[in-house]
Amino acid sequence: MTRKYNFCAGPAALPEAVLLKAQAEMLDWQGRGLSVMEMSHRSEAFVAIAEQAEQDLRDLLQVPDNYKVLFMQGGASSQFAMVPLNLLGKGGTGNYVKTGVWSKKAIAEAKRYNPIHLAADTEGNSFTSVPAQNEIVLSDDASYLHFTSNETIGGLQFDYLPEAGDVPLVCDMSSDILAAPLNVGDYGVIYAGAQKNIGPAGLTLVIIRDDLLDQAMEITPSMMNYRIAADNDSMYNTPPTYAWYLSGLVFDWLKNEVGGLEKMAEINTRKANKLYSAIDNSSFYGNPIAVANRSQMNVPFTLADAALDKVFLQEAEQNGLLNLAGHRSVGGMRASIYNAVPEQAVDALIAFMADFEQRHG
């Protein structure tokens, strides 16, 4: 068996140590004689797994006590509807910052429930930078300000926390949660699909300040209601138990093997810096994003001659470097270098890029 380096944007690489642990426990979890996949979600064993996962996540992010952690389903895309459904029951308007493909999707979905106010929009510069703070203008009746901390497809990341006064910040953190420490207390709602930087697909994490749990619209389906999820410990119905368990193993790995989010951030910064340097130091590779807003997680790049894209991808794969094609909507290349992508993978990619340039540039 050879594991190759996987630069997929999502579902993405998982830490090898986590996969090995899951493999070892696959048939018989801690002497109980059954797999986690076969356990009742109400069993004492699974409830212990679920609670440990939540505690480790709380420890990693230092989640304050007045925040609930919800383990939901439906992906980040369902949150695009759940946010307005749960937060606009008392009126007001959802305010949105538009910085790329994912925030556009969030806006389109929210428009089904309210007119929304576009607080800032950087489409005019082809989403190559985030708006400056003074370019974010809230409506007087703002119920929340939604932004996307890391645009996974464009490779665009906020380098500062938008300020919205008393208006709660709602953040789609699908592709950069747990990449670095953050102050949960600055946010009203944080949400993230698991399959980028947390665990396998099927689980969606929501972290919500508890005073925001009681302003859902009447029409909100029970399965999409944050209050109902919170009151039922995220087990209103059968949760995605195995994804929850695996995410718990990832939290444990971050805490006890990596050594916490400060450490993780150091490694992530080093990985991203060397890859962007390799791009900037060549005239063959390019990246259009404003330097301060370049994503540490998703690094899109183009070749000087797009006709070579196919050859690049083929040769990369032959060299054990998988899933480097850019998103189907933008083309080019994209290396997703999430927490679980080891620094050696980035080194191998940089070496391959230099070699490819020498032979084809």
Ligand X SMILES: *Cc1c(COP(=O)(O)O)cnc(C)c1O
Binding-site ranges for ligand X (CB under 6 A): 10, 75-77, 102, 148, 152, 172, 174-175, 193, 196
Q: Which residues contact 317 (CB under 8 A, 6 or more apart)?
A: none
Question: Which of 188, 143, 151 lies closest to 169 in space, CA to CA?
Answer: 188
Question: Which of 210, 179, 175, 180 lies closest to 192 in space, CA to CA?
Answer: 175
Residue showing the smallest CB distance to ligand X in the complex: 75
Question: Which of 201, 172, 219 lies closest to 9 in space, CA to CA?
Answer: 201
Closer by beta carbon to ligand X, 10 or else 300: 10
Question: Cα–Cα distance between 133 and 159 in angstroms, integer?
Answer: 11
Question: Cα–Cα distance between 281 and 118 in angstroms, integer?
Answer: 37
Distances (CA, A) of 232 to 2, 49, 166: 42, 16, 29
Residue 113 backbone phi and psi in degrees, to 5: -115, -20
| Rounded least distance, CB 325 to ligand X, Å | 16
How do 189-193 and 204-209 pair as beta strands?
antiparallel
Amino acid 344 reads Q
| Rounded least distance, CB 320 to ligand X, Å | 25
Closer by beta carbon to ligand X, 10 or else 155: 10
Closer by beta carbon to ligand X, 229 or else 353: 229
| Residues acting as catalytic residues | 102, 172, 196
| Rounded least distance, CB 205 to ligand X, Å | 10
Question: Angle CA(241)–CA(242)–CA(245) in degrees, nearest 5?
Answer: 90
Three-class DSSP category at 95:
strand
Query: What angle, rounded to 10 degrees, do the helices at 343-360 and 309-318 form?
Result: 130
| Rounded least distance, CB 342 to ligand X, Å | 21
| Rounded least distance, CB 150 to ligand X, Å | 6
Question: Cα–Cα distance between 143 and 239 in angstroms, integer?
Answer: 29
Question: Which of 141, 199, 201, 187 lies closest to 18 in space, CA to CA?
Answer: 199
Closer by beta carbon to ligand X, 77 or else 114: 77
Closer by beta carbon to ligand X, 54 or else 172: 172
Closer by beta carbon to ligand X, 193 or else 332: 193
